[in-house]
A and B are shown apart, each in its own frame.
Chain A
Amino acid sequence: MILSPKKIYLMLIVLGAILMTFDHLTSNALTDVGSPSELGNACAPCGAPCVDNQSK
């Protein structure tokens, strides 16, 4: 029997919440929220470095 979307949905939400809480409690936390573009020679929102005139 296929579960209804709302049951699967609630299971995903609860599973996600458990995983998120586990990750938070077992990881270091920053004292301020951060974005990957803030560090290094970042040129993009994901933190990719600048690679000017690079071609092969």
Chain B
Amino acid sequence: MSKAASIPSAVRRPLSFERGSLTLFGSLAVLIAGLVSLDTGLTGVGLFILGGLLGVVFLLFQYGFASVWRHALVRGEVMGLAAHFLLIGLCAIVFIPASALGLSAAGTVAPVTISLFVGAFIFGLGMQLANGCGSGVLYSFGSGSGRMMVALPFFIIGSVLGSFLLPSALGWGSVGPVAIAGGLSDGLRTIVNLSFISVAGFGFYLLGRHRGQQLSKRLVLACLVIAALCWAVFVLSGHPWGVTFGFTLWGAKLAQDIGIPVENFTFWQWPGPARALSHSLLSDISSLMNIGMVLGAAMVAAGSGQLSRQNWPSGQQLVAAAVGGVLMGIGARLSFGCNIGAFLGGIASGSLHGWIWFVVAMTGSWAGIQIRPRFGLEK
């Protein structure tokens, strides 16, 4: 008698579900890689794979932002923030001196606008209600989280609403893009920005040590691996990794499918968004990497049996996920990104908007934490 035949059927059934899921996700990954290779070649396939690897790494290390920020604000646990700045510093080493390193890539220096303040606050608030940020929603959705199955569609809806609002929101006031030490050479600019990042990172680290906290080796390893993947994305795509434009594009295409003339809105007439809207979403870097991230996390979840262990949170918490998703979507568009595009990508590119995003989104997170108990969520 074979070993498999000796296992009771009740035990075998969950395994076959996981295997079936793994086969489905693997087949989808191969299909997408095939479609992408026909149009955008190895670059597209490479970015799809990098998205998948980011999904795997984020899920395996449970790397996130929302819970780290909440624990910092509620419990005073700041080692996670030190780790965030370690990751940002590692990325900055490549992003800021890109041209001096001979790379045909450039960082993200976005404008400092009133909408940045409003959007970052809204995003921070929504992030605490939904229990995840842009990347967190993606990889948790990939792992089968019931909460994120609600948060993601509402994130998409919110980001389309945000795309309708952004053009007029830019009129509220702007001082334009501000590159920190922008007048200096690439080398000096890198040194100045790394100094600021180090002050923040070491500041949180020393504060944590003072409080008796430890920076785990596992967290440091996660930062090193994610930084290496971010470097690869930067070199291959020419830009820092971004998440939320993909959501906006998915929502806009779906809105078009149900007859909403999205293309008539100002945002979708700007050259970049207009091109994305009129072409396959597999041609859009953010979309392609997001799909990869979901499938990467999905394969890990299926392989580890996590898919079968997911349960629905309470109705109140699902409402919080929906509200948080909409707020994050609107906030991300008004503030030029999420924890990945604005916080990580912005600061690592030496852009002042990234620092402002961090401070204001942290304030929004504090507000969101105060509201969480009303939705049955702990502070």
Residues of A within 8 A of B (CB): 2, 5-6, 8-10, 12-14, 17, 19-21, 23-24, 27-40, 42-56
Known contacts A5-B312, A50-B177; A29 and B283 CB within 8 A of each other = yes
Measured CB to CB, the closest approach of chain A to B194, in angstroms, equals 22
A21 to B285, alpha carbons, bound, how many Å?
16
Measured CB to CB, the closest approach of chain B to A20, in angstroms, equals 7
21 sample A-B contacts, Cβ–Cβ < 8 Å, listed by A number: A2-B312, A6-B21, A13-B28, A19-B254, A24-B35, A27-B279, A29-B38, A29-B40, A29-B280, A32-B43, A34-B276, A34-B283, A35-B284, A36-B275, A37-B108, A39-B271, A42-B271, A43-B177, A45-B108, A45-B336, A55-B114
Residues of B within 8 A of A (CB): 17, 21, 24-25, 28, 31-32, 35, 38-41, 43-44, 47, 108-111, 113-114, 144-146, 149, 163, 166-167, 170-177, 237-240, 242, 244-245, 248, 253-254, 267, 270-273, 275-276, 278-286, 288, 291, 294, 298, 307-308, 310-312, 333, 336-337, 341, 345
B281 touches A45 (CB 8 A): no
A53 touches B35 (CB 8 A): no
Chain A residues with CB below 8 A from B294, complex form: 13
A49 to B269, alpha carbons, bound, how many Å?
11
Known contacts A23-B281, A45-B108, A45-B245; A56 and B172 CB within 8 A of each other = yes
Q: Known pairs A23-B253, A27-B281. 10 more at Cβ < 8 A?
A: A5-B145, A13-B25, A30-B39, A32-B40, A35-B286, A38-B272, A43-B176, A45-B108, A45-B245, A52-B176
Of A8, A28, A31, A48, the residue contacting B336 (CB under 8 A) is A48
B174 touches A53 (CB 8 A): yes
Known contacts A24-B282, A28-B278, A43-B176; A6 and B271 CB within 8 A of each other = no
Chain B residues with CB below 8 A from A40, complex form: 270-272
Chain A residues with CB below 8 A from B25, complex form: 13
A26 to B318, alpha carbons, bound, how many Å?
34
A32 to B39, alpha carbons, bound, how many Å?
7
Measured CB to CB, the closest approach of chain A to B139, in angstroms, equals 13
A34 touches B275 (CB 8 A): yes
Secondary structure class of chain B's binding surface, majority of residues: helix
B337 touches A45 (CB 8 A): yes
A51 touches B111 (CB 8 A): yes
Measured CB to CB, the closest approach of chain A to B259, in angstroms, equals 16
A45 to B240, alpha carbons, bound, how many Å?
9
A43 to B270, alpha carbons, bound, how many Å?
11
Chain A residues with CB below 8 A from B170, complex form: 48, 51, 54
Known contacts A35-B285, A44-B110; A50 and B176 CB within 8 A of each other = yes
Please, which residue of chain B has its CB at the minimum distance from the CB of A24?
Answer: B280
B149 touches A5 (CB 8 A): yes
Of B40, B111, B163, B308, the residue contacting A33 (CB under 8 A) is B40
A3 to B253, alpha carbons, bound, how many Å?
28
B28 touches A35 (CB 8 A): no
Of A24, A43, A49, the residue contacting B281 (CB under 8 A) is A24
B149 touches A52 (CB 8 A): no
Chain A residues with CB below 8 A from B281, complex form: 20, 23-24, 27
Chain B residues with CB below 8 A from A44, complex form: 108, 110-111, 336-337
Chain A residues with CB below 8 A from B31, complex form: 17, 21
Please, which residue of chain A has its CB at the minimum distance from the CB of B176?
Answer: A52
A53 to B286, alpha carbons, bound, how many Å?
29
A46 to B301, alpha carbons, bound, how many Å?
31
Of A13, A35, A36, A54, the residue contacting B238 (CB under 8 A) is A35
